[in-house]
Amino acid sequence: MMDELELLKKDWQKKEEHLPKLSYDDIYNMIWKKSSSIVKWIFYISIIEFVFWAAINLLNYSEESREMERAWNIADLSTGITIINYAVLIFFIYRFYQNYRQITVTDSSRKLMKSILKVKRTVTQYVWFNIGIFCVSLMLLLYGSLTYGEEGQKIIEAASKAGNETLFWIMLVGLCIIIIGIILILIWLFYRLLYGILLNRLRRNYGELKKLEV
């Protein structure tokens, strides 16, 4: 039995001698190429996402919806939020492009590690901004529909006449929190799926770079 084990060890050692030895530079270049490719895909996905949502907004835009916003006294606020939203999204796309350019010219593992952390931070900020702008837009619509919408006013008047106005508002706020919470979880899961896989790969690359620095 021992003879067989020794033979196997010797055979493996012979094979190992023929395997290519990867140097520090070889490993670094492999990680650099993978990281650069991931950041490039993050940049491309952000552009596709921007175009997709812009197209959805244009398709849903109509004079009727604009009139409804005016009737609810939220037209100016809605326009302002839309302008801010697109301006910030364009800024993030530019940041993603900057991150990609920075990684492509990085020439040391420490700089590459910093670039990876920067990309992760930018993606996190981007996701939370999208979640935040969605919350603000949804709350604005709820405020407009309840305060100035015909159906909303009827519901409030009915609750007031029944002497349950306070209970109505408590239930409404609770319901809104639950609905917004569910929607936020779905949005978070969407971005987790969209960017999470790429960020996990970057995280692994970062771990490999840390090992190189030891």
Cα–Cα distance for residue pair 37/100, rounded to 1 Å? 9
Tell the residue number behind the tokens 């090992």, with chain if given.
Answer: 211
pLDDT at position 19 is 47
What are the residue ranges spanned by the domains of the chain?
22-213
Res 2: pLDDT? 44
Cα separation, 44 vs 67, whole angstroms: 36
pLDDT band at 81 (very low <50, low <70, confident <90, very high): very high
What does pLDDT average to over the chain?
Answer: 81
pLDDT digits (tens, 9 = 90+) for 139-162: 898 888 888 887 777 777 777 777
* pLDDT at residue 179 tops 80: yes
Decide if pLDDT at 99 tops 70. Answer: yes
Provide the percentage of residues in the chain whose pLDDT is more than 70. Answer: 87
Closest to 45 (Cα-Cα) out of 197, 156, 204: 197
**Range 98-124 average pLDDT:** 84
- Residue identified by tokens 């407009």 is 144
Q: What is the pLDDT of residues 185-195, one digit of tens each?
A: 988 888 888 88
Any alpha helices (H) in the chain, and if so which ranges? 2-18, 24-60, 63-71, 75-104, 109-147, 150-161, 165-213
In terms of phi and psi (left: phi > 0; alpha: psi -120 to 50; beta: otherwise), the region of 20 is beta
- Give pLDDT tens digits for 3-27: 444 555 455 455 545 545 556 677 7
Q: Residue 92: pLDDT above 90?
A: yes
pTM to 2 decimals? 0.76
Please name which of 177, 139, 146, 180 lies closest in space to residue 160, comparing C-alpha atoms: 146
What tens digit of pLDDT does each residue of 65-79 get? 888 888 888 889 999
- The answer on pLDDT for 108 being more than 70 is yes
CB 122 within 8 A of CB 95: yes
